[in-house]
């Protein structure tokens, strides 16, 4: 059975077909968040720390850390700041250190810059997930040696030098190519987590059915775990959280084992907790019962992050000194 192991210094998370769905928190990402990028440019990591704590309290098992910031003010003073290869490696190291200082969940190191990926790998404690490699030749040649050197699992995104194909057969072929090239480096299939690329259903009516079939095929033919950017399915549509909350249990039933998503959204997290229970990945419904108490607090007027944090504080310390399973 395929088991992708991700570790922090004290916690282990296993992504697998018989494991609870792995929620990878996406919020530590300055791309498209001008306020966060401006704070990071000033050396202010308070929002990063807040986002880390809130996401874990709400149910994130792994935290994605993305260093894709644009430092506009510094760029005007020093042209080197226009180069992501200059900006991202030290920023990634700082982000990893700040996040590890406030929480002990495993991390997902996320950058398009190989030097930033390696900076994150050097700073991370445990066995993080690397995000990502694609089927592009240059990316394969730069990232797979890092995966092998640091013995970490990696997200494999199903696009190549031709771009993102709307044809799921082509995206499957790209995923197979990445798995085969990884094997050439001595990287096992259980350390490859394939992102089959979810298309927006508003632009492609068959996007849902397409990804469900593709996930099933990836599981059965390649034996790999899968992930996705969960909110892509609802891009450009009203009431996106309703669509996301319907999509996630359907993806789980098809065999998807993780998603990079915003866990600070009650609808999506409620759907995942229910799906875990229905898939027999929540023994005796313990997590569902705990989550139901959080929902009751939210219905009484407490914001979800606060209700989740209070519930987390009430149960903290019960695992003692053992390495905790996420």
Residue by residue, what is the 3-state secondary structure of 20-72?
CCEEEEEEECCCCCHHHHHHHHCCCCHHHHHHHHHHHHHCCCEEEEECCCCCH
**pTM value?**
0.95
In a domain, 72, yes or no: yes
Q: Are strands 62-66 and 22-28 parallel, antiparallel or unpaired?
A: parallel
Task: For residue 94, give its domain range.
Answer: 21-104+116-126
Which positions ≥6 away from 45 have C-beta within 8 Å? 39, 94, 95, 98
Supply the pLDDT for residue 214: 98
In a domain, 288, yes or no: no
In a domain, 84, yes or no: yes
C-alpha distances (whole Å) from 247 to each of 219, 236, 251, 284 are: 18, 15, 6, 25
Question: pLDDT truncated to tens, each residue of the chain (326 aa)?
Answer: 799 999 999 999 999 999 999 999 999 999 989 999 999 999 999 999 999 999 999 999 999 999 999 888 888 888 898 888 999 999 999 999 999 999 999 999 999 999 999 999 999 999 999 999 999 999 999 999 999 999 999 999 999 999 999 999 999 999 999 999 999 999 999 999 999 999 999 999 999 999 999 999 999 999 999 999 999 999 999 999 999 999 999 999 999 999 999 999 999 999 999 999 999 999 999 999 999 999 999 999 999 999 999 998 887 755 444 455 66
Supply the pLDDT for residue 325: 60
In a domain, 304, yes or no: no
> Kind and range of the H or E element at 14?
strand 11-16
In a domain, 209, yes or no: no
What is the tally of structural domains in the chain? 1
In a domain, 228, yes or no: no
304 C-beta neighbours (distance < 10 Å), count: 21
C-alpha distances (whole Å) from 293 to each of 31, 85, 286, 296, 302 are: 34, 46, 11, 5, 12
Supply the pLDDT for residue 170: 97
In a domain, 297, yes or no: no
* Residue 238, phi then psi, degrees to nearest 5: -75, 160
Supply the pLDDT for residue 163: 96
C-alpha distances (whole Å) from 266 to each of 192, 198, 298, 320 are: 29, 22, 9, 29
The strand order across the sheet containing 62-66 reads 225-226, 192-195, 154-157, 129-134, 107-110, 62-66, 22-28, 258-261
Is 192:224 a contact under the CB 8 Å cutoff? yes
In a domain, 43, yes or no: yes
Supply the pLDDT for residue 318: 52
SS3 (DSSP) at 109: strand
C-alpha distances (whole Å) from 104 to each of 17, 58, 78, 196 are: 24, 15, 36, 29
Supply the pLDDT for residue 324: 55
Supply the pLDDT for residue 76: 84
């Amino acid at each position: 059975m395929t088991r992708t192991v991700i570790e922090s210094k004290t916690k282990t998370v296993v992504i697998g077909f018989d494991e609870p769905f792995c929620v990878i928190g996406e919020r530590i990402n300055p791309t498209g968040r001008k306020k966060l990028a401006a704070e990071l440019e000033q050396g202010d990591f308070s929002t990063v720390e807040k986002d880390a704590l809130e996401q874990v309290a709400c149910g994130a098992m792994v935290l994605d850390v993305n260093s894709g910031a644009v430092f506009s003010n510094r760029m005007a003073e020093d042209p080197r700041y226009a180069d992501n290869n200059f900006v991202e490696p030290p920023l990634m190291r700082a982000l990893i250190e700040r996040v590890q200082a406030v929480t002990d969940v495993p991390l997902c190191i996320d950058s398009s810059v190989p030097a930033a990926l390696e900076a994150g790998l050097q700073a991370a404690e445990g066995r993080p997930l690397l995000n990502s490699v694609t089927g592009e030749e240059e990316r394969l040649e730069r990232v797979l040696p890092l995966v092998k050197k640091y013995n970490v699992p990696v997200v494999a995104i199903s696009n190549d030098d031709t771009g993102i194909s709307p044809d799921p057969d082509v995206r499957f072929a790209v995923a197979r190519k990445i798995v085969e090239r990884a094997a050439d480096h001595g990287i096992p299939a259980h350390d490859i987590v394939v992102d089959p690329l979810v298309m927006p259903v508003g632009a492609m009516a068959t996007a849902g059915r397409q990804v469900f079939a593709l996930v099933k095929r990836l599981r059965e033919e390649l034996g790999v775990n899968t992930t996705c950017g969960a909110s892509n399915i609802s891009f450009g549509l009203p009431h996106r959280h309703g669509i996301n909350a319907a999509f996630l249990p359907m993806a789980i039933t098809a065999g998807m084992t993780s998603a990079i998503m915003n866990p600070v959204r009650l609808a999506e997290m409620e759907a995942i907790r229910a799906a875990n229970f229905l898939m027999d990945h929540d023994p005796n419904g313990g997590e569902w019962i705990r989550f139901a108490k959080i929902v009751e607090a939210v219905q009484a007027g407490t914001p979800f992050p606060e209700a989740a944090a209070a519930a987390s504080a009430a149960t903290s310390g019960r695992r003692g000194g053992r390495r905790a399973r996420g």
